[in-house]
Amino acid sequence: MKFNRFQSVLIAALLAGCAHEQQVAEHPAPYQRPLNSPGGKFSGLPPAVQNTIRAETGAAEIEDIVKDTSSGQLVYKVYFVNRKLYPTLYVAPDGSVLNPNLTVAVGAAQDTIGVLSGGAVSGLKASDLPPNVMKVVQERAPHTEIASIYKEIWGDREVYLVSFKDRIHNPDLYIAADGTILKERH
């Protein structure tokens, strides 16, 4: 008798487990791919492209951003919620505004980059900073004007020296390309 009860409990447990798996299989999740928000896509754009979008449209609500290479060149197509007021914006990776036929409508701001002794690069703008470095600058000194930006190579690392006009309240920052603060200099 004990053997029969054990068999009955074992069979019931197996059937319950199978029934549970069938329920999962009958109701697949409605989402099959990761969801991307326009804000998430915007934050992944190169700084020059972000600056162009802000300069051209201000705070217009973005519906979607598409990275397109079908023409043989990389073009960011920015679609806005209010398409009557803001038609599709075409932006090159350097921040140039493009016409729909992908000719340059407004060229990107010209950089005045110079090389200092020791291989340091001067004359960089905030738009030249990698996103991780710019994030640190915005967190540390959100309302302070940048005085200068230099890029140096320390071994195999790119390091950005960011100096602010208000050095009393915002010391110079040495930031690695990955966003790591290496040191602050007062």
Residue ending a domain, among 106, 126, 157, is 106
Residue ending a domain, among 106, 123, 143, is 106
Instruction: List the domain range (segments joined by +) for residue 167.
Output: 114-185
Instruction: Write the burial class of residue 137 (CB in 10 Å: 0-12 exposed, 13-18 middle, 19+ buried).
Output: buried
Residues 87 and 134 in one domain: no
CATH number at residue 145: 3.10.450.360
Asked, for residue 80, whether it belongs to a domain, the answer is yes
- Whether the pLDDT of residue 111 is over 50: the answer is no
Number of domains in the chain: 2
**CB-based contact 57:42 (threshold 8 Å):** no
Q: 112-151 pLDDT, tens per residue?
A: 333 333 444 456 778 788 889 989 988 888 788 888 888 8
Q: Whose CA is closest to 175, among 166, 186, 184, 165?
A: 184
Q: Please give the residue that has the higher pLDDT: either 39 or 179.
A: 179
Q: Which range among 35-49, 76-90, 106-120, 150-164 shows the weakest confidence by mean pLDDT? A: 106-120
Q: Please give the residue that has the higher pLDDT: either 153 or 89.
A: 89
What's the predicted TM-score (pTM) here? 0.45
Beta bridge partners of 157: 154
Asked, for residue 19, whether it belongs to a domain, the answer is no
